[in-house]
């Protein structure tokens, strides 16, 4: 009898031990999480900083380059309206590291606090993106083919598989790219492809993909993306 019970008793004891261990672990980690949860993301503060900058810190207004409500009209400066909050925040953090070292944005990103970055990201994600247009009839078929089907011979996956059929991306990892300025998209793909020390290297999959693309393929897919809605 005793022998038959012992595995059962043993497992009960183990279960009890496991429960008490979990309970202790939960209690121990609780105080460490409380202060972070108390900080609330404030899109209204993000809006003010975006539109006015902060003269006291020497921080320029983002609106001067990225346009009203994040709809940049300057082709070298990305549209930010409607971009995923998590992606925007990640970029503002990455600009403070060698992963995305860019003269202009790295200077400003270092002037923003973590709360500023979160507030601006929340503000921009809530804005409505204005559509763009494809401009080159001759390359639209190639661009569409690459976007939807990738390039089999070069082992390039379809852009749509991560950025979505309409280019709206998938939060949090995959950014929205639909309607973006051709010039900016070309610049980023060229950056991802580059092996220079100061090139954009904050995405391993994008580096692999871009390193297999020719200039013509990059230009074609960038133009197609600009027209995606
Ligand atoms: C002088 C012009 C200028 C100003 C002012 C400026 N930006 Fe930028 N921003 C740029 C350029 C140019 C890029 C593209 C950088 C690159 O090529 O990697 C960029 C890129 C970005 C990106 C990355 C977008 C993406 O799709 O990956 C974010 C986010 C951003 N800026 C936010 C801001 C915020 C927030 C401010 C205000 C604090 C600001 N910018 C002020 C010129 C500017
Ligand atoms: C395996 C998934 C995956 C595939 C396939 C993929 N991408 Fe991406 N792409 C990403 C991720 C992840 C990022 C965000 C990188 C980061 O965090 O900065 C990104 C970022 C980008 C950006 C930068 C956006 C910005 O605002 O700066 C462009 C442009 C882009 N991808 C274009 C493409 C194109 C064109 C293709 C097809 C040829 C493609 N991607 C295929 C995952 C993918």
Over the stretch 176-196, which tens digit does the pLDDT of each residue have?
A: 999 999 999 999 999 999 999
Instruction: With cut-offs at 50, 70 and 90, classify the pLDDT of residue 89.
Output: very high
Band (17; pLDDT cuts 50, 70, 90): very low
Of the ligands numbered here, which is closest to the C-alpha atom of 111?
1
pLDDT at residue number 39: 81
Residues in Cβ contact with 59 at an 8 Å cutoff, skipping those fewer than 6 apart = 49, 53, 108, 111, 112
Residue (of 76, 80, 21) closest to 188 by Cα position: 76
- 104, 194, 222, best to mutate for ligand 1 pocket (most atoms within 8 Å of CB): 104
Residue 19: pLDDT above 50?
A: no
Q: Is the CB of 125 under 6 A from ligand 2?
A: no
Tell me the per-residue pLDDT of 115-174, one tens digit each, with 9 for 90 and over: 999 999 999 999 999 999 999 999 999 999 999 999 999 999 999 999 999 999 999 889
Does the pLDDT of residue 71 top 50, yes or no? yes
- How many angstroms is it from 85 CA to the middle of ligand 2? 16
Of 135, 120, 136, residue with least CA distance to 53: 120
Cβ–ligand 2 distance for 80 under 6 Å, the answer: no
CB 205 near ligand 2, within 6 Å: yes
Identify whether the C-beta of residue 149 lies closer than 8 Å to the C-beta of residue 158: yes
Question: Candidates 147, 159, 206: which one to mutate for ligand 2, based on the most atoms within 8 Å of Cβ?
Answer: 206
């Amino acid at each position: 009898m005793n022998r038959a019970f012992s595995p059962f008793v043993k497992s009960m004891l183990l279960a009890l031990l496991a429960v008490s261990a979990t309970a202790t672990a939960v209690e121990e980690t609780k105080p460490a999480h409380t202060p972070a949860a108390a900080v609330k993301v404030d899109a209204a503060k993000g809006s003010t900083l975006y539109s006015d900058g902060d003269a006291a810190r020497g921080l320029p207004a983002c609106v001067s380059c990225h346009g009203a409500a994040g709809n940049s009209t300057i082709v070298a400066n990305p549209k930010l309206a409607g971009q995923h909050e998590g992606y925007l925040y990640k970029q503002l953090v990455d600009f403070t590291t060698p992963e995305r070292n860019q003269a202009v944005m790295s200077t400003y990103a270092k002037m923003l606090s973590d709360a500023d970055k979160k507030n601006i990201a929340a503000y921009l994600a809530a804005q409505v993106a204005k559509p763009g247009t494809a401009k080159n009839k001759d390359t639209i078929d190639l661009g569409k083919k690459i976007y939807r089907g990738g390039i089999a011979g070069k082992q390039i996956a379809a852009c749509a598989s991560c950025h979505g059929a309409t280019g709206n991306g998938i939060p949090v990892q995959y950014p929205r790219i639909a309607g973006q300025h051709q010039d900016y998209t070309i610049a980023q793909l060229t950056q991802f492809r580059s092996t220079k020390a100061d090139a954009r290297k904050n995405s391993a999959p994008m580096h692999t993909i871009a390193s297999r693309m020719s200039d013509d393929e990059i230009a074609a897919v960038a133009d197609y993306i600009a027209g995606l809605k």
